[in-house]
Chains A and B, each alone.
Chain A
Amino acid sequence: MTYLGYIALVLAAIAAVSAVTLLYIRSGRTGSPEHQMKLPYQMVYAIFGFVTLACLVLLYGFIAKVYSFDYVAANSSADMSLFYRISAFWAGQEGSFLLWLWFVSGAAALIAYLRSHVYDVLTSNALMVMSAVQAFMLAFMLVLGNPFKIAAVTVGLGINPLLMHWAMVLHPPTLFMGYALMTVPFAYALAALLTGDASPAWVERSQRWTLVGWLFLSLGIFLGAAWAYVVLGWGGYWGWDPVENASLLPWLGATALLHSFHIYRQRQSFKRWAISMSVFAFFMVIMAAFMTRGGIVQSVHSFEGTTGILVYYAAVIVTVLGVTGYLLFNRWQDFESKHIFESYLSREAVYHINNILLIFCSVIILVGAFLPQITKQTVGAGVYSAIAQPLGIVLLFLISVCPLLSFGETNLLKFGRRALIPGVIAIISAVPWFFYWKSLEAMVKSVNPSQALPANGWLGYVGFIVATFAIAAACQIYGSKIRLRMQGGEGFATAVGRFFVKTPGQAGGFITHLGLAIVVIGLVGSSMYTVSLSKTLADKQGANFSAGKIKFTYQGYEQTKGTGKEINTTIFKVVDENGRSLRNAEPAYIYYTVREQPGMNADVIIQPFRDIFMVFQGINNSNQLIFEVKINPLISFVWAGSILLILGVIIAVLPKRPGAPAK
């Protein structure tokens, strides 16, 4: 069986090389007659077919428990349910690479199919690039990361029990889908350079793919953070670890890319930006893969690397940068944009600054990840936070001001009129926010007096006000768009409906920005003012402690046995500061007997403006129970904002219905 999988990969590699060769010969700058283009497009389908076959073989290995597959034995065991056995497909390095490749080849085949009625030159060139990318990936799998190795053992090792969680099952494929889709704008950018076609055609063809890719990248980050919060029991969702940061790199690149695309289409401007950002986003995907799989970045998540893998990544990086650098240099003049900067006060100026800030963030993360290899110094979470907090607020401000500005040159009077209401709302909100901010500080002090308050707390306060401005500005724009439609004779409901249906890009974009503002409010609360308290208790009913004015009374504990694990659940009665009884908190300590590994099931009492997070950490040497309680203000805003953000993208991706947009 393993041979079949390997043979499928070899055939896929052959198909990929033929596709690149044929497409190179037959597309060129002008293209060939239709009958000559059929074969190369069929080659693109063939790669997809063979990669699919390889995937099915590996999947069969997991489903039928064929432990002669080294990869199957290493990542699953007989006692795992079918669902988790299937998800073990992407639990290790080789399988996740295969999945990633499958997504890339699927996207290529779909593009070939959708464009096979015209065989346009741009798409032929883009498919050539995508086939080349697949050839590179296949070379890696055939030589360095073969998922079809024959095993030496005959028993499955199983998966780490902490990973058996729906969010962790979905997290890797979601990210890999995002990675794979970033190949599309990269391929079309190279196609535009190869053909010298500086019209928006390549942007039109790759924009939606990029948007969907961005959606998956956002979802992937969201799922990872949610899992970390619930399962790992440390009460946080982001630790600025290099591998967590790695997932942020393509996202930052893709964000800059999407915004450059927008201006390219609207204004025939930002052409070099769009081309470079396509390459940049793809490059960041490679760097992200390198950081997680290259083995030289010190991280809590990374896989071990080998010299072969290092050499491979070096070759890929040199090829990508070399080829695109050369092409961009040759076509530099063709992609000149005329009027980038007609005024300091223009949308273009904001987009420009936005792009620079996003690139800056990516570069800091990259340097931070590789610094330990160069100077033996590590960049702590403190540095990232100190940079991310002010930049995040500045970015949010730019995002909210941008739609109030005009393209080209902004009329100051018009801008003032548009900014008036959100500005006034923001200024008024400064008063309640001040009291809320002070109450957060008081809360931290009352729960744990020894916990230091953040030195840059005022930045959080500013963040609250800016976020309010952003929310008010977004609402104002909705209002004005809908009012405009109503002036055209539409009823209120029709106007709202049509705004979403006829201009999904606009409507979705604003929802995404609204979501981002809400996320920022949540980030300020939960990253700056989360307070934690460690307590030990005797194992005695009625033992109690308080976190601030919230009282926890121990009721006892239950011991249950599951398959391969022992669960010790403690039960607490929780009474809040107003004397109201909340639901019982039941944090559990789990012992996984097979891997002899502990785990903690935190219990989170979710309230609108705070989470009460409780972990049972086991027993200390004097037989006391150890608990940690965290009060996590505004964290639900992070989740709610993220969901809104993702919803916005989904709306933007929806196909546009024909009909005149209200300008």
Chain B
Amino acid sequence: MKITIASGKGGTGKTTISTNLVSYLSTLKQSVVLADLDVEEPNSALFLRGDLEKEQVSYKMIPKWEEADCTFCGECADVCNFNAIVALSDEIIVYPELCHSCYACSELCPTDSLPMTSERIGEIKAFTSDGFSFIEGRLDLGQEMAVPLIAQTIDYVDENFKNHIKIFDAPPGTSCPVIEASRGSDYVILVTESTPFGLNDLKLAVETMRVLNQKFGVIINRYGIGDNGVETYCADENIEIITKVKNDREVAKLYSKGELIYPKIGHFRDSLDEIVTFIGGLKCEK
């Protein structure tokens, strides 16, 4: 069972829900693993204490220009869909940060002047905590493309945690990284807040999930602020609201100290219970 916690808008509470949910599930004797897929700025680790179990470096393949036989025909730049190569009259310049590792330039170069080589993009770390595992993908500074590392982090989780409930903490937004973090999952939970901003970005996220043909539901966080736009929208669109997490200053205080919420706030635990029950229902469906 794979569940992605996503959102259109940033700062709606993906990480708060993810970290508390995984910890709470482990207290219910469930085998569970959390993967922080927000590889550009992973922050789940701020709320979870764990021992580093394993770390591995991640690479992506990029072409490396070899001058010797190059005829400067420019085929490499022409076939690149991502403008990652500029072919000048006396030099071929590769921009690794734009490269999608498609191999087209390398394969089609008539003189084999662009062999593929590996480049470090980041690392994957595995931690064990009280009763659950926690995996973090972290992109190196200066790397622009998150998708390859997100894919590798998901692969790592799939290989090492076959029978676990897998919770994926996704990046915000609706672009490629979110799609990569969502498309292989059984279900996507969109965390939003009941404000016009929350609603606007929720609509974008819903559109994205529909294009992906992905099953999804909504959690309204900080319920009680803003207006009832999100609820009206969900009712009109037949979108399930899994739970409404009450707006509470005490939650924010615990969050700001890097603490988990559910051990101390009863209504937050009640919301987690609703999520757990919902996930139980999904498992039965499967």
Is B a genuine binding partner of A? no
